[in-house]
């Protein structure tokens, strides 16, 4: 389809509007249906109280649907035309546009220990089926340098690894081209391997794409990511706070209910004797606590 520029914006706008409208009406319809089922009657006040425009439209539509004459063709030509236009807009808008670009995914940054192995993953997304001429190629650019050298190439069903450069005998192909995976494994990392690795994949005839890069950082000792401990401490304390508040209100609610059931039923007194003994001193203090 390949519309570009302002036309595409208008098209997307119409599409979004229709999808939103459909979603809203589906939600309203579901709410009404759910509130009519006996166990879910509690849904009916909120569902029917909000008389949104979508709800009013739905009401009219449903009442029209129930009318027997609605189902007799021919209907008025204007309504048929509008319905047809609406349906076509929806269908044509929802079907995604086939853009011919291939999208390549790698990581953003990878951390590794000195002397370890690392797997650099690369996969792509393309609208075409994976062809047999799919190619993957990895290039490496050291930190602080401007030249990149090629260290891996997969084409025609065979993988060619670096046999002259800095990664000689250290690169291994661990990907699966049939599953669009072009990952490589680099063994025995050194500090000189710090740099940017770029993966470029081509899936003929889908060849237009932007290569994606992953940055490799080699450490002697992998440092704790900044903010992990901070986040953990904050999360734990706030979680405990929420838990304590919830338990406090729950206890108040439960004790309130027990007070209520105490006055109603004296039969269960013997059964609840054990717990009542514990709760004994609490109820007199409760009315003042409840008001707080």
Interface residues toward other proteins, by CB under 8 A = 223-234, 237-238, 288, 291-292
Minimal distance, residue 263 CB to other proteins, in Å: 23
Minimal distance, residue 237 CB to other proteins, in Å: 5
Closer residue to other proteins (CB): 226 or 264: 226
Closer residue to other proteins (CB): 270 or 291: 291
Minimal distance, residue 243 CB to other proteins, in Å: 15
Cα–Cα nearest to 131, from 203, 202, 183, 200: 203
2 — alpha (psi -120 to 50), left (phi > 0) or beta?
A: left
Closer residue to other proteins (CB): 89 or 255: 255
Closer residue to other proteins (CB): 98 or 230: 230
Minimal distance, residue 215 CB to other proteins, in Å: 17
Closer residue to other proteins (CB): 30 or 246: 246
Distance CA 59, CA 36 (A): 15
Minimal distance, residue 225 CB to other proteins, in Å: 7
Round the CA-based radius of gyration of the chain to a whole number and report it.
33
């Amino acid at each position: 389809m390949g519309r570009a520029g302002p036309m595409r914006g208008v098209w997307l706008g119409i599409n979004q509007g229709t999808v939103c409208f459909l979603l809203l009406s589906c939600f309203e319809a579901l709410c009404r249906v759910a509130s009519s089922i006996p166990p879910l009657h509690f849904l009916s006040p909120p569902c029917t109280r909000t008389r949104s425009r979508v709800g009013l439209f739905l009401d009219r539509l449903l009442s029209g649907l129930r009318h027997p004459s609605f189902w007799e063709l021919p209907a008025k030509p204007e309504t048929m035309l509008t319905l047809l236009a609406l349906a076509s807009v929806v269908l044509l808008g929802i079907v995604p546009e086939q853009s011919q670009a291939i999208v390549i995914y790698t990581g953003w940054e990878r951390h590794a220990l000195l002397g370890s192995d690392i797997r650099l993953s690369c996969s792509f997304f393309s609208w075409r089926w994976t062809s047999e001429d799919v190619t993957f190629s990895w290039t490496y650019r050291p930190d602080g340098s401007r030249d990149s050298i090629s260290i891996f190439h997969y084409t025609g069903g065979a993988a060619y690894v670096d046999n002259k450069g800095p990664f000689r005998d250290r690169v291994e192909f661990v990907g699966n081209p049939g599953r669009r995976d072009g990952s490589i494994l680099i063994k025995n990392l050194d500090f000189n391997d710090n740099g940017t690795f770029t993966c470029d994949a081509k899936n003929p005839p889908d060849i237009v794409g932007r290569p994606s890069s992953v940055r490799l950082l080699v450490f002697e000792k992998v440092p704790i990511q900044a903010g992990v401990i901070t986040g953990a401490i904050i999360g734990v304390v706030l979680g405990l706070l929420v838990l304590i508040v919830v338990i406090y209100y729950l206890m108040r609610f439960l004790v309130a209910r027990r007070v209520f059931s105490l006055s109603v039923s004296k039969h269960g007194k013997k059964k609840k004797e054990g717990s009542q003994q514990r709760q004994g001193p609490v109820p007199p203090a409760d009315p003042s606590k409840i008001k707080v």
